[in-house]
Amino acid sequence: MSNKRKVTKRSMLGNETYLVTGAGGFIGSHIVDRLRTISNESPNGQVHALGRSFGKLSELNAPGDFTFHQCDLQDNATLYPLLASIKPHVIIHLASEPDAAESGEHSRNCIANNLVSTVNLLDAFASSGNPQGMVYGDSTKVYGSAPSPYRSDVRPEPNSSYSITKAASWEFVRLQARLSGFSAVAIRPTLIYGPRQPDNIISVILDAIRENQSSFTIQGGSQTRAPLHIDDAVDAYIRTVENIAALNSKIINIGGAEEFRVADIARHVVRNAGSDMRILCESTMRDTEILQSSVDLSEAEDLLGWKPSISLAQGLIPFRESILENTV
């Protein structure tokens, strides 16, 4: 007998107080944008954005309809009274140290900005007044070299400072949620791309095209990814927020419908931009490189009624237009 539950829509979406951490980043800025639209349609909804800086929020059309708080999650003297004042019902926790080449400094940054910051946030949230749920922005990188497509029952095999601290942070989220009685859900996406994207295989290729480079060399090329457009990713996050009570303790993997070799993703970007730049591959890769990354979409469809709708070809169209117009 299956223990999966199909969730039903909650009417409270938009009537609650939401806090997005890492709000000045790529995913965070898009979620703030979507949440403020939803909250504007409800009389009691509030959206609070927290980050070290305003960051990519400045790129929103008509910035506003949310409250920004400049705060470092390691600054407990600011964090605790801030959450006590906001009294968020739901936190979408996206603040994170990004993945990078391994070094002692990177490991310390991951411990501080992924693990310690999450513990601080959880403790402040638990004592803030009315915690109801946390959506934890996780990553499929926690699966490491485990075979894909990933399902929620695949055992994590984190192989980097980033993925180790992301996996450990989720365990602390689950612990605090159980102790404090709020719901917790982990969203584990594959490669997300789209407007305001950070450095990734798509953005670096686009930069090389804008610089009129004749060729670009990537490490490896045979490793695979299932690119997920930011609009589809935000849809999954919002559906999770909408149904967070029914999804308690769930791990939801999300990704694009198509799995590509990284070299082929790069060539898609080149063709889409109308460029003749050559993509070259070298055999060396990072020791922590993920060789295969895709997800079993049936779980997200069952739990959220969600599946990706934007293909890579469709998602790349705006980038071609921006290059042709020379606007970015």
Task: Give the 3-state secondary structure of residue 290.
Answer: coil
**pLDDT surpassing 60 at residue 240:** yes
What does the pLDDT average to over 34-59? Answer: 89
pLDDT of res. 51 = 97
Taking each helix axis as running N to C, give the angle between helix 262-272 and helix 312-325, from 0 to 180 degrees, rounded to the nearest 10: 40
Mean pLDDT of the chain: 92
Q: How many CB atoms lie within 10 A of CB 242?
A: 21
- The tokens for 57 are 């929020």
**Burial call 33-58: b when 16+ CB within 10 Å, e when fewer:** bbbbebbeeeeebbbbbbbbebbbbe
pLDDT of res. 2 = 29
State in Å, rounded, how far the first CA of the chain is from the last one: 53
Domain boundaries in the chain? Answer: 17-193+228-254, 201-225+257-293+310-325
CB 241 within 8 A of CB 90: yes
CB proximity list for 75: less than 8 A, separation 6 or greater: none
For domain 201-225+257-293+310-325, the question of CATH label 3.90.25.10 is answered with yes
pLDDT of res. 320 = 79
What does the pLDDT average to over 17-31? Answer: 97
What does the pLDDT average to over 280-287? Answer: 91
Task: Give the 3-state secondary structure of residue 148.
Answer: coil
Q: Cα–Cα distance between 29 and 22 in angstroms, integer?
A: 8
- Beta bridge mates, 252: 187
**pLDDT surpassing 60 at residue 226:** yes
Per-residue pLDDT band at 11 (split at 50, 70, 90): very low
**pLDDT surpassing 60 at residue 7:** no
Q: Cα–Cα distance between 260 and 266 in angstroms, integer?
A: 10
Closest-CA residue to 194 (of 316, 308, 309): 316
Burial class (CB in 10 A: 0-12, 13-18, 19+), 231: middle
**pLDDT surpassing 50 at residue 1:** no
pLDDT of res. 328 = 43
Q: Which percentage of the chain shows pLDDT scores above 70?
A: 93
Closest-CA residue to 30 (of 190, 188, 197, 185): 197
Per-residue pLDDT band at 65 (split at 50, 70, 90): confident
Per-residue pLDDT band at 325 (split at 50, 70, 90): low
Cα dihedral value 26, 142, 162, 229, nearest 10: -20
CATH of domain 17-193+228-254: 3.40.50.720
pLDDT of res. 25 = 96
Comparing 12 with 151, the larger pLDDT belongs to: 151
- The tokens for 14 are 């938009």
Amino acid present at 178: R
pLDDT tens for 109-148 read 999 999 999 999 999 999 999 999 999 999 999 999 899 9
Q: What is the pTM of this model?
A: 0.92
Per-residue pLDDT band at 42 (split at 50, 70, 90): confident
**pLDDT surpassing 70 at residue 12:** no
Per-residue pLDDT band at 192 (split at 50, 70, 90): very high
pLDDT of res. 318 = 87
Looking at residue 295, the DSSP 8-state letter turns out to be B
Burial class (CB in 10 A: 0-12, 13-18, 19+), 129: middle
